[in-house]
């Protein structure tokens, strides 16, 4: 069945995946996955639990090992890197986990956490005061937050700090893995507004993994739909949501609260 899959020159992409396969023992989890995440854009990755979304995200960031295929970050195939260059590439792909309560060290101030992103060995918040203040302001937090510990923040504020940390090094790719799902609805809205405001102002490519199609609609430029380890549809948000070509995509859209009155406006 024809899907909304579009081709673009590879040089435009912060990340490009070609024919990626991941196997865990006899389980073939990702099957010939091909997608691109353009620099400066947010691409949503959707699908039900077990579809392979988080496996793909963790493979791109290097947590999982690819069985075959290419993962190009800034035009460089990270599956073929070794030693020092592989360690360097890990700083160019940043991962924002789902749980804002376990992603920050309780024994470190925000300033120490952000300084560590810049300098893992020194982690001196005084030395990096200006960069830390700019990172906090980018996510709408006061620079004074650098002096505080994680327990002094709400879940939404912690997630803002995790976003700031991921963007500190201007990475080529950011993996945001269900970063709103552990937050209540009002706090989700705050994070959504933050990401909307940052869209088009950040050079990093972002893969936004979510099971919530309504959130993806508000945050992302394009959407990729996964089903049983395969990509079944991808394209601009408006095109895919208004005229889904694959039965699974139609099923997902029909499950959105308010369907069939789900609004794209």
The rounded distance, in Å, linking the Cα atoms of 41 and 124 is 32
- Tokens 């552990």 -> residue: 182
Element at 227 (helix H, strand E)? strand 222-227
pLDDT tens string 9-48: 443 568 999 999 999 999 999 999 999 998 888 999 999 8
What domains appear along the chain, each with residue ranges and CATH number? Answer: 10-102+172-254 (3.40.50.300)
The rounded distance, in Å, linking the Cα atoms of 174 and 165 is 11
| pLDDT at res. 134 | 95
pLDDT tens string 170-220: 899 999 999 988 788 888 888 988 888 887 777 889 999 998 898 999 999
Least confident residue range of 6-20, 93-107, 240-254: 6-20
Residue 149 or 77, more confident: 149
pLDDT of 2 > 50? The answer is no
pLDDT of 265 > 70? The answer is no
**Residue 78: which pLDDT band, with cuts at 50, 70 and 90?**
confident
| pLDDT at res. 262 | 43
Order of strands, sheet of 13-24, starting from the edge strand that comes earlier in the sequence: 27-38, 13-24, 68-73, 76-77
Give the pTM.
Answer: 0.87
**Closest to 166 in 3D by CA, of 125, 138, 143:** 138
Mean pLDDT computed over 131-139: 94
The rounded distance, in Å, linking the Cα atoms of 53 and 209 is 7
Q: At what angle do helices 129-138 and 110-118 cross, to 10 degrees?
A: 110
Average pLDDT score over the chain? 87
**Residue 258: which pLDDT band, with cuts at 50, 70 and 90?**
low
- The number of C-alpha atoms within 13 Å of 178 and in the hemisphere containing its C-beta is 14
The rounded distance, in Å, linking the Cα atoms of 67 and 244 is 31
The rounded distance, in Å, linking the Cα atoms of 15 and 49 is 24
**Closest to 239 in 3D by CA, of 255, 214, 217, 254:** 217
CB 264 within 8 A of CB 236: no
Mean pLDDT computed over 85-109: 84
Mean pLDDT computed over 110-127: 87
pLDDT of 6 > 50? The answer is no
Residue 75 or 37, more confident: 37
The rounded distance, in Å, linking the Cα atoms of 9 and 15 is 12
Element at 224 (helix H, strand E)? strand 222-227
């Amino acid at each position: 069945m024809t899907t909304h899959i579009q081709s673009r020159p590879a040089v435009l992409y912060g990340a490009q995946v070609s024919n990626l396969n991941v196997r865990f023992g006899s389980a073939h989890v990702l099957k010939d996955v091909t997608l691109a995440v353009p620099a400066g854009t947010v691409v949503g990755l959707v699908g039900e639990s077990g579809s392979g979304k988080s496996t793909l995200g963790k493979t791109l960031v290097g947590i999982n090992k690819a069985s075959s295929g290419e993962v190009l970050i800034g035009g460089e195939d990270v599956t073929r890197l070794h030693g020092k260059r592989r360690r360097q590439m890990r700083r160019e792909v940043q991962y924002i986990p789902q749980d804002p309560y376990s992603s920050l060290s309780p024994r470190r101030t925000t300033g120490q956490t952000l300084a560590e992103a810049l300098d893992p060995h020194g982690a001196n918040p005084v030395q990096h005061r200006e960069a830390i203040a700019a990172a906090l302001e980018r996510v709408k937090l006061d620079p004074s937050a650098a002096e505080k510990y994680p327990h002094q923040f709400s879940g939404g504020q912690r997630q803002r700090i995790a976003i700031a940390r991921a963007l500190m090094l201007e990475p080529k790719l950011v993996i945001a893995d269900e970063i709103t799902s552990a937050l209540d609805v009002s706090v989700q809205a705050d994070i959504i507004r933050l990401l909307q405001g940052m869209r088009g102002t950040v050079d990093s490519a972002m893969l936004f993994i979510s099971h919530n199609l309504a959130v993806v609609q508000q945050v992302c430029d394009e959407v990729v739909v996964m089903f049983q380890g395969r990509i079944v549809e991808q394209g601009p948000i408006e095109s895919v949501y208004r005229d889904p070509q694959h039965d699974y995509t139609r099923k997902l859209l029909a499950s959105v609260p308010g369907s069939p009155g789900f609004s794209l406006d």
